[in-house]
Amino acid sequence: MACTLNRDDPLGGLPPKHCLNGGYKPVFTNRLQLEEALSFCKTTLENNLKENVNLVRVSAPLFVTRASGFNDNLNGVERPATFEPRDFPGTHLEVPFSLAKWKRWALHYYGVEAGKGIVTDFRGLRCDDDVDFTHSLYVDQFDWEKHIAAEDRNIDYLKATVKAIYKALYDTEQAVCKKYGIDAYLPEELTFATSDDMIKEHPTATPKERENILCEKHKAVFFIGIGGMKPDGQLRHDGRAPDYDDWITERPDGGHGLNGDLLLWNPVLKQSFEISSMGIRVNPEVLLKQLDLCGVNERKEFVWHKMLLDGTLPQTIGGGIGQSRTCQYLLRACHIGEVQHGWYNPKEVEILKKDGIQLLGLGEFDADPSAKSS
């Protein structure tokens, strides 16, 4: 998600100014009722996803070994939360950033046939993520992956899958709004746009500005082509790791990449709001090219990469749908901490509390509430 956090501002993680000083009223003030609503949102969305995309729920790992190469490397610079088992010094275990690679292996492990997929209730940690009103250190998402045929690696299949996912989200919003008396906002039809076209139309705009232009106009957009470089060597829109999404394959429209982000216009925050990142995954040929472009050819020696290169792993499409991010949107919350137990800038927490904006759990404290004062 293109970020708006101003690192030079000590309070840069606060919601937009129009949400402060009484400009925002939460849908729920009772915490237990909020928790019931969160459960309803997640259960409804998961059920809709399973039906629309033909997915089966499976369990997921909380950690993987570093040597396996199963962790999602995101942009390649983030530090994973790592630990060593007490009795096995030298063994490095990592909390995954996402299950982008693990899911593809899981399709092979479970013997899932083409046309069917899996979905997991993923929980992870991202200690290098921005901490603001839409980002936290804790990641919860519906990580999904679907086995596809080789001939399905094309833009039409990507769009058809995106439409099925958007329909699940649209139906979920309809159910949530009906149950809790919230005004529905999502349009029935999703708009598709490409990063290549938006760069041509708005060459001086930032990635976030381009997203805002699109989303304010269309309300719901799938932004195609994330990752890779422009001719000047700068990111085309945002970063992607080289070993899950395919961001180099040329499309019939002349652009590159068989992946994208699902973006919504958030009526509370009045800005674009990323719900999901997804795409058709690399095949052996694309993996080798993208590893070379990113200068990480050593990854070919990892277990996961060897399994992909020798044809053991199937061709797939997959992505992640942020659970807390979706709940923040559906329940019209101005801060992700209202719908998720997390940790946030203590100075910002105090400002939010004074403004009547309640964060869940320990997120509302600037220290351990059980700690004895000195």
d(CA 259, CA 249): 10
* Measured distance CA(344)–CA(334) in Å, rounded: 14
Active-site hit among 126, 153, 210, 332: 126
Contact 64, 71 (CB under 8 A): yes
Q: Which of 46, 238, 274, 348 is catalytic?
A: 274
> Does 277 qualify as catalytic in the annotation?
yes
The active-site residue, picked from 136, 277, 323, 340, is: 277
**Alpha-carbon distance 164 to 275, whole Å?**
14
Active site (annotated) includes residue 261: yes
Active site residue 274: yes
Catalytic residue among 72, 145, 173, 238: 72
Distance CA 339, CA 361 (A): 10
Alpha helices, H only, 54-127:
100-110
Non-local (6+) Cβ contacts of 149 within 8 A are: 114, 315
Q: Of residues 98, 141, 315, 324, which has the active-site annotation? A: 141
Query: Which DSSP string do the residues of 192-222 spell out, in sequence order?
Result: EEEHHHHHHHSTTS-HHHHHHHHHHHHSEEE
Tell me if residue 72 is catalytic.
Answer: yes
Task: Provide the H-helix boundaries in 27-99.
Answer: 31-53
Residue 193 gets the label, from left (phi > 0), alpha (psi -120 to 50) or beta, of beta
Catalytically annotated residue among 132, 145, 261, 348: 261
The β-bridge relationship of strands 271-280 and 259-266 is: antiparallel
Selection from 337, 351, 356, 318 nearest residue 58 by Cα: 318
Catalogue the active-site residues: 72, 126, 141, 261, 274, 277
